[in-house]
Chain A
Amino acid sequence: KAGVTQTPRYLIKTRGQQVTLSCSPISGHRSVSWYQQTPGQGLQFLFEYFSETQRNKGNFPGRFSGRQFSNSRSEMNVSTLELGDSALYLCASSPVASGTSTFYNEQFFGPGTRLTVL
């Protein structure tokens, strides 16, 4: 089975622009979560999507948004980029959504998209 794929792997943008990152989960997985990794703040949860619906959201401003398509692929968008948005954005997929099962479901991470804002 192919793993989680993220495109593009590297991206350079300037302040004020917007950016869209893409994540394709493992085949059969329906939950996709996004994380931001920065040297200062570490790894922080952005949001989780399941069946095209946002299930959970982290503490990020409204400039950060996402969506999920019927094939479970997900995109995240950051508008009006700031220098502090420079980070590695990681996507993780899981078979089911949080709160839908008492059994543990592992999250599998993609390689990430490294966004640099100049």
Chain B
Amino acid sequence: AQSVTQLDSQVPVFEEAPVELRCNYSSSVSVYLFWYVQYPNQGLQLLLKYLSGSTLVKGINGFEAEFNKSQTSFHLRKPSVHISDTAEYFCAVRDIQGAQKLVFGQGTRLTINP
């Protein structure tokens, strides 16, 4: 079985500061890794994904994440945040071979202060 732990439930940051949202996962099989963003009253939007290859993946809105197999982590980073980045962020894993289902972390609420 897979599990995902997002280490921070809330992260407040000042505008234009860097941010890192942490994610650790546990799985006995190979997985795909994802970060999704959810704005208020909306569904989930894919920010970026790691499937294979380079461990540093770049996504939309200036976000990037690094896959670390030895530490089973997939932390999300952005060098300079904007007010519009205020949202909830979810890390997720999916079994490469098996079910389509995504297993999500509990989410991190990112609040950008002016």
Which residues of A (73-118) have their CB < 8 Å from a CB of B?
90, 92, 94, 97-99, 102, 104-107, 109-112
Inter-chain contact B104/A43, CB cutoff 8 Å: yes
Minimum Cβ distance to chain B for residue A26 (Å): 13
Inter-chain contact A31/B43, CB cutoff 8 Å: no
Inter-chain contact A112/B43, CB cutoff 8 Å: yes
Could you say which of A35, A58, A111 contacts B42, with CB atoms under 8 Å apart? A111
Inter-chain contact A42/B107, CB cutoff 8 Å: yes
Bound complex: CA A92 to CA B51 (Å): 19
Interface residue total, chain A, C-beta cutoff 8 A: 27
Inter-chain contact A43/B98, CB cutoff 8 Å: no
Q: Across the interface, which residues of A come within 8 angstroms of B98, CB to CB?
A: 98-99
Interface residue total, chain B, C-beta cutoff 8 A: 23
Bound complex: CA A44 to CA B105 (Å): 10
Which residues of A (16-51) have their CB < 8 Å from a CB of B?
31, 33, 35, 42-45, 48
Indicate if A56 sits at the interface (CB-CB under 8 A): yes
A104-B43 contact given A48-B99, A94-B100, CB 8 Å threshold: no
Q: Across the interface, which residues of A come within 8 angstroms of B103, CB to CB?
A: 45
Indicate if A55 sits at the interface (CB-CB under 8 A): yes
Q: Across the interface, which residues of A come within 8 angstroms of B97, CB to CB?
A: 99, 102
Q: Across the interface, which residues of A come within 8 angstroms of B46, CB to CB?
A: 106
- 14 more A-B residue pairs beyond the given contacts A43-B90, A90-B43, A104-B51, with a C-beta to C-beta distance below 8 A: A43-B92, A43-B104, A43-B107, A45-B101, A48-B100, A56-B101, A58-B101, A90-B44, A94-B100, A99-B100, A102-B97, A106-B46, A106-B49, A109-B45
Residue ranges of B at the interface with A (Cβ–Cβ < 8 Å): 32, 36, 41-46, 49, 51, 90, 92, 97-107
